């Protein structure tokens, strides 16, 4: 569908040289096959359907960039991840404009450009995300007796269209729905409404993740190995294991080459840092796993984590004593009930595995995260609960061909906070937290692809 639609829209533009607004509406009409569009426009789905790959990068002077398809590469865009979510959505719509109109060469999209090509793409994007016909219809529902819209109500339109408060206000003004001219002072005073109008992280992130083209890496690829080192380093660091990143990378590389003959193996096995080695074993195990985690698999993870521990005999079984997580709202499961709770947890895992092909990535992640949270509450082991809980989550991700996620040491507080919120049955923040981590893993592991794009733009990024 993508190629056909792309070429028919491209020739439509060439023939008629439509205005940006008209062209955006033609794109929507054709894409939605004459039916009313679904709002907010899922711009990431549109990009995917039009055959455009997207990548996020931290850019200093650009909102984004467009690179046309070539013999070797598909069409691709870069989006500045440092900008607010609404702006990133707008940039994607803007780049789609380039893909349909300016597809003969690469385009760079600097901040606040007055270039006519950029202005066209901006106007196209504004109309694509907030088509005037539908915008007017929604704005009329908010009108007061004088047929104007109270700017304090305008944030509702931000939610409908997924656009920024500023963009909504200007559009209301242009269509005659405001009784005043918005100026700087107005926007300064409208902070509360602006805040209310922010796109919800979770919806935005789900759209990105569900349409992302992720390329799994070979387990020996340098990017994958680097990622694995980061994961082991951070995952241990948040548990207080003191081995820095450089050392972690050295240990893991040495182990991979020399196995138990490695100098580090001997050194670490005797010291307090054997967990780093055990941790890397866990991930080797998970990355080969085909079956879903069950009771035996969970016990195996714990035993593997401590496989070089002098107390290995006591590992790999559920705890016999009561235990409390520091700062947690609710007590962990009583030792006598652990078997039963793990049994139910494994039933949930089994059900999730059974539905893995029908769930979207974000839908799957949401259920996997709930299992992760439940695991932290049961806290079945005397030691290593956090790392095993995250390993179970990563195991579940692997079964859906997704990369593992890890929590950087700097994010530990946020992680604890969102787990605590989940204890109060509020899972949304925990979900958003892991959606971000998954996106970060995508970006890190697909770096090679970004580097291709970066080569092209190396002089300006
Ligand atoms: Zn541009």
Q: Is the model's pTM score more than 0.85?
A: no
Q: Tens digits of per-residue pLDDT, 77-110? A: 999 989 988 899 999 999 999 999 999 999 999 9
Fold of 2-129: Arc Repressor Mutant, subunit A (1.10.10)
Residue 457 CA to ligand 1 center (angstroms) comes to 14
Nearest in space to 378 (alpha carbons), one of 407, 349, 404, 352: 349
Residue 232 CA to ligand 1 center (angstroms) comes to 39
Residue 226 CA to ligand 1 center (angstroms) comes to 33
Residue 107 CA to ligand 1 center (angstroms) comes to 6
The answer to whether 2-129 and 222-445 have equal CATH topology is no
Residue 374 CA to ligand 1 center (angstroms) comes to 45
Report residue 460's pLDDT band, with 50, 70 and 90 as the boundaries.
very low
Residue 95 CA to ligand 1 center (angstroms) comes to 6
Neighbours of ion ligand 1 (CB under 5 A): 109, 118, 121
CB 443 within 8 A of CB 56: yes
Q: Which of residues 251 and 161 earns the better pLDDT score?
A: 161
Residue 174 CA to ligand 1 center (angstroms) comes to 23
Residue 22 CA to ligand 1 center (angstroms) comes to 18
Q: Tens digits of per-residue pLDDT, 244-296? A: 888 888 888 888 888 878 887 777 766 657 788 889 899 989 988 889 999 99
Q: Tens digits of per-residue pLDDT, 11-66? A: 999 999 999 999 999 999 999 999 999 999 999 999 999 999 998 888 889 999 99
Residue 243 CA to ligand 1 center (angstroms) comes to 45
- Least confident stretch, 108-117, 255-264, 422-431: 255-264
At 193 the pLDDT is: 80
Residue 461: is its pLDDT beyond 50? no
At 33 the pLDDT is: 94
Q: Tens digits of per-residue pLDDT, 289-334? A: 889 999 999 999 999 998 887 777 778 899 888 876 666 667 788 9
Report residue 239's pLDDT band, with 50, 70 and 90 as the boundaries.
confident
At 308 the pLDDT is: 82
Residue 451 CA to ligand 1 center (angstroms) comes to 20
Residue 136 CA to ligand 1 center (angstroms) comes to 27
At 94 the pLDDT is: 97
Domain boundaries, the chain: 2-129, 132-199, 222-445
- Least confident stretch, 93-102, 158-167, 269-278, 419-428: 269-278
Report residue 454's pLDDT band, with 50, 70 and 90 as the boundaries.
low
Residue 64 CA to ligand 1 center (angstroms) comes to 7
Fold of 222-445: Fic-like fold (1.10.3290)
Residue 1 CA to ligand 1 center (angstroms) comes to 25
Residue 294 CA to ligand 1 center (angstroms) comes to 50
């Amino acid at each position: 569908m993508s190629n056909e639609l792309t070429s028919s829209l491209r020739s439509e533009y060439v023939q008629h040289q439509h205005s940006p607004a008209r062209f955006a509406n033609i794109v929507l009409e054709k894409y939605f096959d004459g039916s009313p569009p679904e709002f907010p426009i899922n711009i990431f789905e549109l990009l995917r359907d039009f055959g455009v790959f997207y990548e996020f990068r931290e850019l200093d002077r650009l909102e984004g960039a467009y690179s046309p398809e070539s013999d070797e590469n598909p069409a691709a865009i870069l989006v500045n991840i440092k900008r607010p979510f609404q702006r990133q959505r707008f940039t994607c719509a803007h780049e789609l404009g380039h893909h349909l109109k300016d597809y003969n060469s690469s385009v760079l999209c600097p901040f606040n450009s007055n270039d006519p090509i950029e202005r066209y793409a901006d106007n196209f994007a504004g109309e694509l995300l907030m088509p005037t016909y539908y915008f007017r219809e929604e704005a009329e529902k908010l009108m007061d007796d004088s047929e104007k819209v109270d700017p304090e109500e305008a944030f509702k339109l931000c939610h409908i269209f997924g656009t920024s408060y500023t963009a909504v206000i200007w559009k209301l003004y242009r269509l005659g729905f405001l009784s005043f001219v918005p100026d700087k002072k107005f926007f300064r005073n409208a902070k509360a409404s602006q805040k209310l109008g922010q796109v919800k992280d979770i919806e935005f992130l789900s759209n990105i993740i569900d349409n992302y083209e992720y390329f799994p890496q070979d387990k020996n690829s340098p990017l994958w190995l680097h990622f694995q080192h980061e994961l082991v380093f951070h995952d241990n660091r948040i548990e207080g294991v003191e081995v820095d990143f450089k050392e972690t990378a050295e240990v893991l590389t040495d182990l991979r080459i020399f196995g138990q003959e490695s100098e580090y193996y001997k050194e670490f096995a005797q010291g307090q840092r054997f967990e780093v080695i055990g941790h890397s074993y866990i991930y080797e195990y998970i990355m080969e796993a085909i079956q879903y985690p069950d009771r035996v698999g969970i016990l195996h993870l714990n035993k593997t984590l401590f496989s070089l521990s002098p107390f290995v005999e006591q590992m790999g079984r559920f705890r016999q004593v009561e235990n409390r997580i520091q700062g947690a709202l609710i007590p962990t499961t009583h030792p006598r009930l652990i078997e039963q709770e793990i049994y139910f947890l494994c039933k949930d895992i089994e059900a999730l595995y059974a539905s893995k092909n029908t769930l979207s990535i974000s839908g799957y992640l949401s259920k996997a995260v709930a299992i992760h949270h439940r695991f932290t509450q049961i806290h079945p082991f005397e030691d290593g609960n956090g790392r095993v809980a995250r390993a179970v989550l990563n195991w579940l991700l692997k079964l859906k061909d997704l990369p593992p996620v890890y929590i950087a040491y700097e994010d530990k507080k946020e992680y604890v906070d969102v787990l605590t919120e989940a204890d109060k049955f509020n899972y949304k923040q925990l979900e958003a937290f892991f959606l971000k981590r998954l996106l970060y893993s995508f970006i890190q592991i697909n770096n090679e692809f970004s580097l291709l794009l970066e080569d092209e733009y190396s002089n300006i990024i």
